[in-house]
Protein backbone atom coordinates (compact mmCIF):
# COMPACT_ATOMS: atom_id res chain seq x y z
CA UNK A 1 0.00 0.00 0.00
CA UNK A 2 1.26 3.47 -0.85
CA UNK A 3 0.12 6.32 1.43
CA UNK A 4 -0.19 9.59 -0.38
CA UNK A 5 -2.06 11.84 2.01
CA UNK A 6 -3.06 11.82 5.66
CA UNK A 7 -5.83 13.93 7.15
CA UNK A 8 -6.59 13.94 10.87
CA UNK A 9 -9.38 16.52 10.94
CA UNK A 10 -11.91 16.40 13.74
CA UNK A 11 -10.89 12.89 14.76
CA UNK A 12 -7.71 14.34 16.24
CA UNK A 13 -5.99 12.09 18.74
CA UNK A 14 -8.23 9.08 18.25
CA UNK A 15 -8.06 7.93 14.66
CA UNK A 16 -6.31 8.96 11.50
CA UNK A 17 -7.77 8.76 8.02
CA UNK A 18 -5.36 7.49 5.41
CA UNK A 19 -5.98 8.07 1.75
CA UNK A 20 -4.08 5.37 -0.07
CA UNK A 21 -3.32 4.11 -3.53
CA UNK A 22 -3.03 0.38 -3.98
CA UNK A 23 -2.54 -1.27 -7.35
CA UNK A 24 -4.82 0.61 -9.72
CA UNK A 25 -7.25 2.06 -7.15
CA UNK A 26 -7.45 4.47 -4.21
CA UNK A 27 -9.44 4.38 -0.99
CA UNK A 28 -9.72 5.48 2.62
CA UNK A 29 -8.88 3.63 5.82
CA UNK A 30 -9.46 4.69 9.41
CA UNK A 31 -6.68 3.73 11.81
CA UNK A 32 -6.31 4.23 15.58
CA UNK A 33 -3.55 6.66 16.52
CA UNK A 34 -1.06 5.96 19.25
CA UNK A 35 -2.10 8.27 22.07
CA UNK A 36 1.41 9.36 22.88
CA UNK A 37 2.15 10.98 19.51
CA UNK A 38 -1.36 12.40 19.39
CA UNK A 39 -0.76 14.02 22.77
CA UNK A 40 2.56 15.46 21.63
CA UNK A 41 0.90 16.94 18.54
CA UNK A 42 -1.19 19.29 20.63
CA UNK A 43 1.58 20.59 22.89
CA UNK A 44 3.34 23.93 22.63
CA UNK A 45 6.05 22.57 24.91
CA UNK A 46 6.81 19.16 26.39
CA UNK A 47 5.52 18.38 29.87
CA UNK A 48 7.49 15.23 30.67
CA UNK A 49 10.78 13.67 29.65
CA UNK A 50 9.04 10.26 29.39
CA UNK A 51 6.74 11.30 26.55
CA UNK A 52 9.61 13.03 24.72
CA UNK A 53 11.76 9.90 25.05
CA UNK A 54 8.97 7.70 23.68
CA UNK A 55 8.40 10.04 20.75
CA UNK A 56 12.07 10.18 19.75
CA UNK A 57 12.48 6.42 20.21
CA UNK A 58 9.68 5.95 17.70
CA UNK A 59 10.95 8.35 15.04
CA UNK A 60 14.63 7.35 15.44
CA UNK A 61 14.73 4.98 12.41
CA UNK A 62 13.73 7.73 9.96
CA UNK A 63 14.99 10.79 11.89
CA UNK A 64 18.11 11.57 9.83
CA UNK A 65 16.49 11.04 6.45
CA UNK A 66 13.51 13.24 7.33
CA UNK A 67 15.71 15.91 8.86
CA UNK A 68 17.66 16.16 5.66
CA UNK A 69 14.56 16.15 3.47
CA UNK A 70 12.53 18.65 5.48
CA UNK A 71 15.42 21.11 5.68
CA UNK A 72 16.50 20.45 2.07
CA UNK A 73 19.94 19.70 3.46
CA UNK A 74 20.32 23.16 5.01
CA UNK A 75 20.56 21.63 8.51
CA UNK A 76 24.06 20.39 7.58
CA UNK A 77 25.21 23.97 6.82
CA UNK A 78 23.78 25.21 10.11
CA UNK A 79 25.45 22.41 12.06
CA UNK A 80 28.78 23.22 10.41
CA UNK A 81 28.35 26.91 11.28
CA UNK A 82 27.57 26.09 14.93
CA UNK A 83 30.72 23.99 15.28
CA UNK A 84 32.83 26.66 13.53
CA UNK A 85 31.64 29.21 16.09
CA UNK A 86 32.54 27.09 19.14
CA UNK A 87 36.01 27.71 20.56
CA UNK A 88 38.13 24.56 20.19
CA UNK A 89 40.19 22.89 22.92
CA UNK A 90 42.44 20.14 21.55
CA UNK A 91 43.16 18.85 25.06
CA UNK A 92 39.64 19.36 26.40
CA UNK A 93 36.22 17.77 26.43
CA UNK A 94 33.02 18.77 24.68
CA UNK A 95 29.52 17.81 25.79
CA UNK A 96 26.95 17.39 23.03
CA UNK A 97 23.65 17.49 24.92
CA UNK A 98 20.46 16.13 23.30
CA UNK A 99 22.81 14.58 20.75
CA UNK A 100 20.11 12.48 19.06
CA UNK A 101 21.76 10.45 16.32
CA UNK A 102 25.00 12.34 16.94
CA UNK A 103 24.83 14.70 13.95
CA UNK A 104 27.34 17.11 15.51
CA UNK A 105 29.73 14.52 16.92
CA UNK A 106 31.86 13.84 13.78
CA UNK A 107 32.25 17.61 13.33
CA UNK A 108 33.20 18.19 16.99
CA UNK A 109 35.52 15.21 17.48
CA UNK A 110 38.57 16.53 15.54
CA UNK A 111 38.69 19.62 17.78
CA UNK A 112 38.57 18.00 21.24
CA UNK A 113 40.31 15.21 23.15
CA UNK A 114 36.87 13.70 23.65
CA UNK A 115 33.19 14.27 22.94
CA UNK A 116 30.54 13.05 25.36
CA UNK A 117 27.19 12.62 23.66
CA UNK A 118 24.13 12.61 25.93
CA UNK A 119 20.52 11.88 25.08
CA UNK A 120 17.40 10.63 26.79
CA UNK A 121 16.34 8.35 23.93
CA UNK A 122 18.15 4.99 23.73
CA UNK A 123 17.04 4.49 20.11
CA UNK A 124 18.49 7.84 18.97
CA UNK A 125 21.70 7.15 20.91
CA UNK A 126 22.20 3.72 19.42
CA UNK A 127 22.01 5.19 15.92
CA UNK A 128 24.51 7.87 16.93
CA UNK A 129 26.89 5.25 18.27
CA UNK A 130 26.68 3.36 14.98
CA UNK A 131 27.17 6.50 12.91
CA UNK A 132 30.33 7.39 14.85
CA UNK A 133 31.93 3.94 14.96
CA UNK A 134 35.60 4.46 14.25
CA UNK A 135 35.75 7.99 15.69
CA UNK A 136 38.12 7.96 18.68
CA UNK A 137 37.30 9.60 21.98
CA UNK A 138 33.51 9.51 21.96
CA UNK A 139 31.25 8.36 24.80
CA UNK A 140 27.48 7.83 24.58
CA UNK A 141 25.44 8.32 27.72
CA UNK A 142 21.70 7.99 28.28
CA UNK A 143 20.72 10.82 30.60
CA UNK A 144 18.33 13.69 31.09
CA UNK A 145 20.11 16.93 30.15
CA UNK A 146 18.36 18.57 33.09
CA UNK A 147 20.14 16.27 35.56
CA UNK A 148 23.55 15.23 34.25
CA UNK A 149 25.77 12.59 35.86
CA UNK A 150 28.93 14.77 35.63
CA UNK A 151 30.96 16.74 38.14
CA UNK A 152 30.95 20.56 38.09
CA UNK A 153 33.21 22.13 35.42
CA UNK A 154 33.84 18.89 33.47
CA UNK A 155 33.61 20.27 29.92
CA UNK A 156 35.39 23.00 27.98
CA UNK A 157 32.50 23.46 25.57
CA UNK A 158 28.85 22.46 25.32
CA UNK A 159 26.74 22.11 22.18
CA UNK A 160 22.98 21.60 21.83
CA UNK A 161 21.28 21.42 18.44
CA UNK A 162 17.48 21.40 18.34
CA UNK A 163 17.46 20.02 21.87
CA UNK A 164 16.71 22.84 24.34
CA UNK A 165 13.17 23.20 23.02
CA UNK A 166 12.44 19.61 23.97
CA UNK A 167 13.24 19.99 27.66
CA UNK A 168 10.27 20.35 30.00
CA UNK A 169 12.33 23.12 31.63
CA UNK A 170 14.84 24.84 29.31
CA UNK A 171 15.85 26.97 32.34
CA UNK A 172 16.84 23.93 34.42
CA UNK A 173 18.59 22.43 31.38
CA UNK A 174 20.64 25.56 30.62
CA UNK A 175 21.58 25.93 34.29
CA UNK A 176 22.68 22.29 34.42
CA UNK A 177 24.77 22.73 31.26
CA UNK A 178 26.30 25.80 32.88
CA UNK A 179 27.18 23.78 35.98
CA UNK A 180 29.13 21.14 34.02
CA UNK A 181 30.96 23.72 31.84
CA UNK A 182 34.31 25.14 32.99
CA UNK A 183 34.49 28.82 33.87
CA UNK A 184 35.67 30.48 30.65
CA UNK A 185 33.94 27.76 28.61
CA UNK A 186 31.32 28.28 25.92
CA UNK A 187 27.92 26.96 24.91
CA UNK A 188 26.68 26.83 21.32
CA UNK A 189 22.94 26.39 20.83
CA UNK A 190 21.20 25.80 17.50
CA UNK A 191 17.44 26.09 17.86
CA UNK A 192 14.38 26.92 15.80
CA UNK A 193 12.83 30.38 16.00
CA UNK A 194 10.13 32.28 14.16
CA UNK A 195 10.74 34.15 10.88
CA UNK A 196 10.33 37.91 11.28
CA UNK A 197 9.49 39.11 7.72
CA UNK A 198 5.66 38.93 7.31
CA UNK A 199 5.55 37.23 3.87
CA UNK A 200 8.33 34.81 4.75
CA UNK A 201 6.60 34.08 8.06
CA UNK A 202 3.35 33.19 6.26
CA UNK A 203 5.10 30.94 3.74
CA UNK A 204 6.96 29.18 6.52
CA UNK A 205 3.77 28.82 8.58
CA UNK A 206 2.09 26.93 5.73
CA UNK A 207 5.18 24.76 5.28
CA UNK A 208 5.39 24.03 9.02
CA UNK A 209 1.69 23.41 9.53
CA UNK A 210 0.90 21.35 6.45
CA UNK A 211 4.00 20.07 4.65
CA UNK A 212 6.13 18.99 7.63
CA UNK A 213 3.40 16.83 9.26
CA UNK A 214 2.35 15.29 5.93
CA UNK A 215 5.89 14.42 4.84
CA UNK A 216 6.75 13.30 8.39
CA UNK A 217 3.76 10.98 8.48
CA UNK A 218 4.42 9.62 5.02
CA UNK A 219 7.97 8.55 5.82
CA UNK A 220 7.79 7.76 9.55
CA UNK A 221 4.10 7.02 10.22
CA UNK A 222 4.35 9.43 13.19
CA UNK A 223 2.31 12.50 12.32
CA UNK A 224 2.07 13.61 15.96
CA UNK A 225 5.83 13.96 16.23
CA UNK A 226 5.94 16.12 13.11
CA UNK A 227 3.13 18.34 14.38
CA UNK A 228 4.95 18.67 17.69
CA UNK A 229 8.08 20.02 15.94
CA UNK A 230 6.55 23.17 14.34
CA UNK A 231 4.22 23.76 17.31
CA UNK A 232 7.06 23.82 19.83
CA UNK A 233 9.25 25.85 17.45
CA UNK A 234 6.49 28.46 17.01
CA UNK A 235 6.12 28.85 20.77
CA UNK A 236 9.79 28.84 21.77
CA UNK A 237 11.57 32.09 22.70
CA UNK A 238 14.08 33.19 20.08
CA UNK A 239 16.49 36.07 19.49
CA UNK A 240 16.65 38.49 22.41
CA UNK A 241 14.09 36.45 24.39
CA UNK A 242 16.37 33.41 24.30
CA UNK A 243 19.37 35.61 25.17
CA UNK A 244 17.44 36.61 28.31
CA UNK A 245 17.02 32.93 29.13
CA UNK A 246 20.77 32.45 28.71
CA UNK A 247 21.49 35.40 30.99
CA UNK A 248 19.12 34.07 33.65
CA UNK A 249 20.86 30.70 33.68
CA UNK A 250 24.46 31.80 34.17
CA UNK A 251 25.55 32.42 30.57
CA UNK A 252 26.78 35.63 28.95
CA UNK A 253 25.52 35.83 25.37
CA UNK A 254 28.34 36.71 22.94
CA UNK A 255 26.85 36.26 19.47
CA UNK A 256 23.39 35.53 18.07
CA UNK A 257 23.01 34.58 14.43
CA UNK A 258 19.64 34.50 12.69
CA UNK A 259 19.45 31.77 10.04
CA UNK A 260 17.21 32.00 6.96
CA UNK A 261 15.31 35.03 8.23
CA UNK A 262 14.71 33.65 11.73
CA UNK A 263 13.69 30.05 10.98
CA UNK A 264 16.53 29.08 13.31
CA UNK A 265 19.18 30.76 15.43
CA UNK A 266 22.69 30.02 16.61
CA UNK A 267 23.49 31.37 20.07
CA UNK A 268 27.04 31.50 21.38
CA UNK A 269 27.42 32.32 25.08
CA UNK A 270 30.23 32.12 27.63
CA UNK A 271 30.43 31.09 31.26
CA UNK A 272 32.32 34.04 32.71
CA UNK A 273 33.76 34.19 36.26
CA UNK A 274 31.08 35.24 38.76
**Contact map string, positions 61 to 80, toward ligand SAM, x by CB under 6 A:** ------x-------------
Among positions 126-145, residues that touch ligand SAM (CB under 6 A) are 144-145
Among positions 151-210, residues that touch ligand SAM (CB under 6 A) are 161-163, 166-167
The size of the interface with ligand SAM (CB under 6 A), counted in residues, is: 21
CB of 119 to ligand SAM, least distance (A): 4
**Contact map string, positions 22 to 61, toward ligand SAM, x by CB under 6 A:** ---------------------------x--x---x-----
Q: Which is nearer to ligand SAM, 86 or 124 (CB)?
A: 124
Q: Which is nearer to ligand SAM, 16 or 165 (CB)?
A: 165
Residue 224: phi, psi to the nearest 5? Answer: -55, -40
Q: Which is nearer to ligand SAM, 39 or 119 (CB)?
A: 119
Q: Which is nearer to ligand SAM, 46 or 221 (CB)?
A: 46
Burial class (CB in 10 A: 0-12, 13-18, 19+), 152: exposed
* 187 beta partners: 158, 269
- The binding site for ligand SAM (CB under 6 A) comprises 49, 52, 56, 67, 98-100, 103, 118-121, 124, 144-146, 161-163, 166-167
Amino acid sequence: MCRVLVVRGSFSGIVRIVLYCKGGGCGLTVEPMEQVTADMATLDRPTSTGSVRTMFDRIAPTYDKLNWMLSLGINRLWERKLVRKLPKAAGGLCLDACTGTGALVPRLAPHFRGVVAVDISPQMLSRGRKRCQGIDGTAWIESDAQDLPFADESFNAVSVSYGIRNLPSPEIGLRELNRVCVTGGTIGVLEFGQPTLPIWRDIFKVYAKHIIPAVGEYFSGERGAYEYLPRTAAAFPCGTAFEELLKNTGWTPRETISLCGGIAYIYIADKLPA
